[in-house]
Structure 1
Amino acid sequence: MPSTTDSGSRSDPSRFFPPLPTPDAPQPLFSVGDVRYEAVREVVKMPTGEVLLLAHRYALEEEMPGQCFVRRLPSPTTTEGRRRLSDEIQLAFRLNHPGIAQVFHLKIHRSTPHVVMEYVDGPSLDTLVTAGVVRGKPMSEALALYIGAEVADALHYAHSLRGEDGRPLGIIHRDVNPRHIYLGTHGGVKLANFGAAYSHMVGRLESPASLVRGDVAYASPEYLERLPLSPASDIFSLGVVLVELLTGRHLFDVEDVPSPPKGLSPLMAEQFTSLPLAQMRVLLSSFSPDDVEAAVTGLAPDVKAILHAALRVVPGERFATAADMGSVLRAALTKRHPSYGRQDAQQEVALIIAEGSCLRDVVEFGEAGLFPEGLDAHELEALADED
């Protein structure tokens, strides 16, 4: 397993890290073999303490082509937690697909885990959704269908991956949400962060039964009730994401949710969640096709049918595989928007970011500093010409 360790104190690691890095004042990180890494920008910091850094790589003092992401993770406090983290990274190392952001190394630096990942030169869906809210309209139906089909293909690859012995690894992402899906500047879609992934690998240490991994706002009903997981759980999560992309609103509204009933089994979310865990469990306990229909009113009938199929409560009633869901999404895209492709996606993403970034002082974007602020029409054309 590509993992190395630096010595360091086990006290609070934050005391060892200097102020935020900038391109003019990069933050030296660590070396892996003959390659050293320097952080040049903090991309996003989660409430859990997890930090995503943009980094440069140097080999023999010469900058290597391209950049990378370094994900600085909170250090597990228990032996089991460290073992589970190691297992999760081992799963990620196995994934080699054009629609999945590749993981290169796990480095323990100053007692803190750092994961070196492929750099995706574009915004996350979370940023695009925020920009859509700011500009007053969601992304186009074509872009949403395109993204959904690409993510479904990546999920099917992970779901169907086999080990050296030919046995299915049973990988389930378990945290498909807009923060983990990126749009490259050339129109490519990348699914990232298999850090919460589940697998049937023999000997793998599973999370405690009462611990929920990932953002519960996109979790399947069976996951929050701690029932057996299957690829259908990721299909449900992708359905929730698609509703948000197509409507500009999240599928679930927790404002008027009644208090959790007595006797509800205790669960604890491991990390920051977009919506409260207890309210999500109540909503999913009574979730039905009527709730889906209410959320997608106004969408085209064939698009609504796709969402209904992905968001069935019973896992066996959803699409049989993520590949099936991807095929249906791509068929709908071809039928409704025959010429839509990567170049169209690239141009629409640039437009959404440009229009939304005009109000960056009103809404804070997740990937602050990575994208152009307030581009005019002629500048958008130049951006498209560069690609």
Structure 2
Amino acid sequence: MTTGGHTTRFGKYELQERLGAGGMAVVHRARYTVAEGVSRSVVIKRVRDPYAQDPAFVQMFLNEARISMGLSHGNIVQVFDFGQEAGEYFLAMEWVDGQPLSKVLKRLKLKGVAHLPAPLAVQLMVEVCKGLHHAHTRRDEEGRSLGLVHRDVSPDNVLVSYEGEVKLTDFGIAKAQWAGRQDTDAGVVRGKFLYLSPEQTRAEALDARSDVYTAGVVLFELLTGRRPAEGDQASVMERIATGDLTPPHAYVPDLDHSLGAVVSRALALRRDDRFTSAEDFQRALAEWLAYRAPLFPASTLRHLMGWLFEEELKLAGQPPRIPESFLRQVAVWTGEGGPAGMDEPERASAVHRAHAEAFPEEHVPGALVGGSPAADMGAGVPGWVWAAVIAAAVAFFVGRAVMPDMSEPGSRKLQVVSVPPGAEVRWDGKQVGMTPTVLSVASGEDSHQLELRFVGYQPWATTVSQAAVPERVQVSLERLPPPPPPPDPVVDARVKDKESQPEGAPRKRSAASARGESREASDWMAGSPDAGAAYTLGQELLAAGSAMQAGEKFWKCLELKETAAECHLGLGRVGVLTDRDSMAREGYQRYLELRPRGVAATEARKYLHAKTAR
């Protein structure tokens, strides 16, 4: 190793700056010259003593490094090289121009943001899960599973680039770090115990579901700013080992309950109760994102990184371009949006009100951003000209279609806020965004209809006069009353003559019967809240006439709690309503096996008797 100027030669690499040091390695940014005039930035991790002197560690390190070099995925930091140089073991890895997630979270708190908005946290974790699944499913040349497990999914090992890319680093290296270190060295454990899975606390063999658990811990932290188990090392490890975790709603009361259920499943004590794979976890998160925040801009993470690390980027000669729409949303997250004295945005959970309507300029159709034949027609025109034309056209047509009079001079701002946030905002019947949002109302004498709609809540409406526009409208939406009992299923939808139906056709159930079912279900719902949430949603969908969607929720309930009798009953009713005899028969039979004297036992027996009689 030789030194020259501000760089140090390390084999074929030129070390430039020291990025940090941990218990295991010293990390440098370096440059690798591929050919004369061609070079690339890399990261060099140099293994420190006493690890470098530990034969067990060295062997494991080399084995895991070989495997890691075979991982090629957009969400995993690529390992290019490893070996020994001047007696030091090292890794050469992809340079990610960004920051570790741990630093992102610290900077957020310094900026007054307690935690990430839910859509952004979910979006980030989807990318982490993609990387995990790729690694978990790798096979060797003979088709055998490599059994690769990260073992240390934590904010320190998730990198976020300034462009909004998310990458996992140090895949498998944690296994080497623990090899032969039975003395629980403080340098090994310090800080890491907060992100252990239950099986890690018991030193059991690990599989992909252990990474699912630790990814769930990271998601919990992104959503709440806290961890599910906090305290000293001994108490935290005991709580993890016994499943004594703080639920996310204890820190963020208005966190979406369906998202809370996803987090809880990832953090289940038993591996069999978790998502079966990182891909299953990813799918659940993607479904939540598609349902709850379908318009959330993918560019939000990039803008967030620019806002958090603006000074660093300016010093590097890369000043970020942060749109006004993003800054308006940041004002809501930090409680600085709107008139003084508004205490509602100051709650920590207020940052969960991030929705796509705050980023209108981000919604440019994909056909306009290149890749189409039409793009070739303007090859001789500078790109910025096309960008300006397209932006002007989009702004004009969107403005005319949604709020044709909003661009007139003399307009006034109307801030619309709801509790809970995320309500659909309609202006004269047209959807214009989701709360919280700011509308521009032109001067005049006309009156307009402002409506708020949110699933599960009473619609709200008021009239706004252009002559007297308030600065702020804040509405506490009222929940809808409990849904009526599900409609009685028709024994056979193909039977047109009601009098020709078999005697076993179920009768209209009373409200008391529905309450009885709920009481019986409570005995298992208390022990399996995730399954209970799926069952409750299934009941609501069934009452609303959405039998197929209800069936999906009942299936989900049974995946989480196979002995949930009322979920089997729900599937029986769905089978009847959708003319699926086998589903109906199986659902009713299983219900009777689990609850032979249940409230709905008569209904189930009548249906089965009617089918047998045929």
TM-score category by the smaller chain?
0.7 to 0.9
Matched position secondary structure for 1:123? strand
Q: Would the alpha carbon gap of residues 292 and 187 (structure 1) be closer, same or farther in structure 2, given more than 3 Å must change?
A: closer
Other-structure match for 1:30: 11
Shift of 1:379: 5.4
2:267 to 311, 316, 319: 311
Shift of 1:341: 4.5
Q: Which has the higher contact order (CA 8 A, sep 6+)?
A: 1
Which ranges in structure 2 are unaligned for 5 or more consecutive residues? 325-361, 363-382, 385-614
Mapped contact 2:199–2:241 kept (Cα < 8 A): no
Mapped contact 2:46–2:89 kept (Cα < 8 A): yes
Other-structure match for 1:113: 89
Q: Would the alpha carbon gap of residues 49 and 216 (structure 1) be closer, same or farther in structure 2, given more than 3 Å must change?
A: same
Shift of 1:253: 1.7
Matched position secondary structure for 1:38? strand
Matched position secondary structure for 1:100? coil
Counting aligned pairs with the same residue, the percent is 25
Q: Would the alpha carbon gap of residues 28 and 378 (structure 1) be closer, same or farther in structure 2, given more than 3 Å must change?
A: closer
Pairing 1:118-157 to 2, within 5 Å after superposition: 118-137=94-113, 138-157=115-134
Q: Would the alpha carbon gap of residues 93 and 374 (structure 1) be closer, same or farther in structure 2, given more than 3 Å must change?
A: closer
Pairing 1:370-385 to 2, within 5 Å after superposition: 371-372=313-314, 380=322
Q: Would the alpha carbon gap of residues 334 and 167 (structure 1) be closer, same or farther in structure 2, given more than 3 Å must change?
A: same
Shift of 1:296: 4.9
2:308 to 352, 367, 376: 352
Q: Which has the larger radius of gyration?
A: 2
Mapped contact 2:136–2:148 kept (Cα < 8 A): yes
Other-structure match for 2:570: none
Q: Tell me, yes or no, if structure 1 residue 222 matches structure 2 residue 199.
A: yes
Distance 2:165 2:174 in 1: 22
Q: Which letter maps to 2:125?
A: G
Q: Which letter maps to 2:52?
A: P
Shift of 1:190: 0.6
Distance 1:142 1:344 in 2: 10
Which ranges in structure 1 are unaligned for 5 or more consecutive residues? 1-15, 32-36, 199-203, 256-275, 358-369
Distance 1:378 1:77 in 2: 45
Spell out, residue by residue over 1:45-80, the C-alpha distance to the aligned partner (whole angstroms, 9 max, x if none): 22x15222111121344241x411111222421322
Distance 2:316 2:17 in 1: 21
Q: CA RMSD in A?
A: 3.2
Distance 1:78 1:133 in 2: 39
Q: Tell me, yes or no, if structure 1 residue 239 matches structure 2 residue 216.
A: yes
Matched position secondary structure for 1:76? helix
Q: Which letter maps to 2:97?
A: D
Mapped contact 2:18–2:29 kept (Cα < 8 A): yes
Distance 1:194 1:335 in 2: 32
Distance 1:136 1:309 in 2: 30
Distance 1:313 1:378 in 2: 43
Distance 2:279 2:158 in 1: 18
Q: Tell me, yes or no, if structure 1 residue 252 matches structure 2 residue 233.
A: no
Other-structure match for 1:207: 179
Distance 1:296 1:210 in 2: 38
Other-structure match for 1:261: none
Spell out, residue by residue over 1:276-308, the C-alpha distance to the aligned partner (whole angstroms, 9 max, x if none): 3x3432222333365455355431111111110
2:15 to 39, 50, 53: 39
Q: Would the alpha carbon gap of residues 373 and 283 (structure 1) be closer, same or farther in structure 2, given more than 3 Å must change?
A: farther
Other-structure match for 1:55: 30
Distance 1:205 1:134 in 2: 32
**Number of residues paired by the alignment?**
319
Q: Would the alpha carbon gap of residues 164 and 194 (structure 1) be closer, same or farther in structure 2, given more than 3 Å must change?
A: same
Mapped contact 1:292–1:311 kept (Cα < 8 A): no
Other-structure match for 1:161: 138
Other-structure match for 2:46: 72
Q: Would the alpha carbon gap of residues 104 and 254 (structure 1) be closer, same or farther in structure 2, given more than 3 Å must change?
A: same
Flag the structure with higher helix content.
2
Q: Is 153-162 or 133-142 further displaced after alignment?
A: 133-142
- TM-score with structure 2 setting the length: 0.48
Mapped contact 2:46–2:91 kept (Cα < 8 A): yes
